[in-house]
Structure 1
Amino acid sequence: MANPPFRTRGTNSTRDAAEAAFKSATTKPVAPVAAAPKPTAPVIPNAKELVTLRIDRDVLEHFQADGPGWQDRINATLRTAVMDGDGAALATDQLSAENDG
């Protein structure tokens, strides 16, 4: 028996037109993806934030030598370094080794 001729469905068939009409009538439009919201400041005043920070081993050993509370001591030292004499924060371009106490 010979193979029947291969038939291709035309792109203008009534079935294709009906499927396209059905899809357009029943498919919800895709909403654009919103950009991720920017992180906001913590709701709790003076809340601490968990960060990862790379510190030289000798500096870390210096703060850990006095025992527990070394993270608070690093925070206090950094706070002193970024504040001027009046307790106001220095601008980033003002921070340098000259501010070291």
Structure 2
Amino acid sequence: MSESNIKRASLAEITAMRKRGELYYNPDAPEGPSLGPDFWANAEIVEPKGTTSVHLKVDAEVFDYFKQGGKGHLTRMQNVLKAYVDAMRKAG
């Protein structure tokens, strides 16, 4: 979500918006379905893995290719590297 999609409002502003009917809240909305015991029986806790900061030199053409997509180019580069690692692991 980009910053342009985020509106920050104080509690007073939110209260005023609600009084004007600009915010919709349905107190009679149904609850979602229960996940049930089968879901929880197979659930497992997965601890997030940390990241490692590195200095990496890449060819200018490689960097420019990822940078042309705009913000998030480092994440895109990491996703390509992850896909490569996954493919190598599957290949054995």
TM bucket normalised to smaller: 0.3 to 0.5
- TM norm structure 1: 0.39
- TM norm structure 2: 0.43
Greater share of helix: 2
